[in-house]
Chains A and B, each alone.
Chain A
Amino acid sequence: DQQVKQNSPSLSVQEGRISILNCDYTNSMFDYFLWYKKYPAEGPTFLISISSIKDKNEDGRFTVFLNKSAKHLSLHIVPSQPGDSAVYFCAASAPGGAQKLVFGQGTRLTINP
């Protein structure tokens, strides 16, 4: 039972344009959402997060949007740069005192020059 889904395995975007990565979840108990970025042969690195009490969080070129009624979140990268080429994972956690993250399958983003 996949509680967090990233339905697009890959995405290709022109340098300078906007990249939009999507994530859907099924568990309404999730109250915190995170995006991680992963380069080959490295561990994921934290990018940005959002609490369920917000609908938007921005950090530089990265913005995460949360639509609780649709159980959907998205990551916007503007403008996209070649160094953004990586696999992006969304993750979610539910309240309970332990940070038990549930990850999506990942989306491979390729930024073309």
Chain B
Amino acid sequence: DGGITQSPKYLFRKEGQNVTLSCEQNLNHDAMYWYRQDPGQGLRLIYYSQIVNDFQKGDIAEGYSVSREKKESFPLTVTSAQKNPTAFYLCASSIGTFPDQPQHFGDGTRLSIL
């Protein structure tokens, strides 16, 4: 079955530690995205990548970093510089970046900073 896998589902880290969230897709999609969701709010775009070895900042990139070395993988690192990292993180992918090519989402990782 094709899809997007985010792991782990729940992640706990101590304050001041960097943490990396995994996102893998086997849909052969070119574009991948990371969003953050906070309670009562919509999804906000952190980073996106239209093609391998290329990525761009979204609306709330501060304190985050990404890499796109393989088409299937788009890991997100939450650094210690992120002031309020506790949130629900969603990864998505799309065939391309035309608006009629909808994004498909993984089931998310809930990050809690202790």
A-side residues, CB < 8 A to B, are: 4, 6, 9, 31-32, 34, 36, 41-46, 49, 51, 89, 91, 93, 97-106
Determine if B64 is an interface residue (Cβ-Cβ < 8 Å). no
Rounded to whole Å, the gap between the CB of B22 and the closest CB of chain A is 14
Determine if B43 is an interface residue (Cβ-Cβ < 8 Å). yes
Determine if B40 is an interface residue (Cβ-Cβ < 8 Å). yes
B-side interface residues, number (CB < 8 Å): 30
Whether A98 pairs with B102 at a CB distance below 8 angstroms is: no
B-side residues, CB < 8 A to A, are: 4, 6, 31, 33, 35, 40-45, 48, 50, 56, 58, 90, 92, 94, 97-108
With a cutoff of 8 Å between Cβ atoms, the chain A residues found around residue B97 in the complex are 97-99
With a cutoff of 8 Å between Cβ atoms, the chain A residues found around residue B100 in the complex are 32, 49, 51
* C-alpha gap A46/B43 in the complex (Å): 14
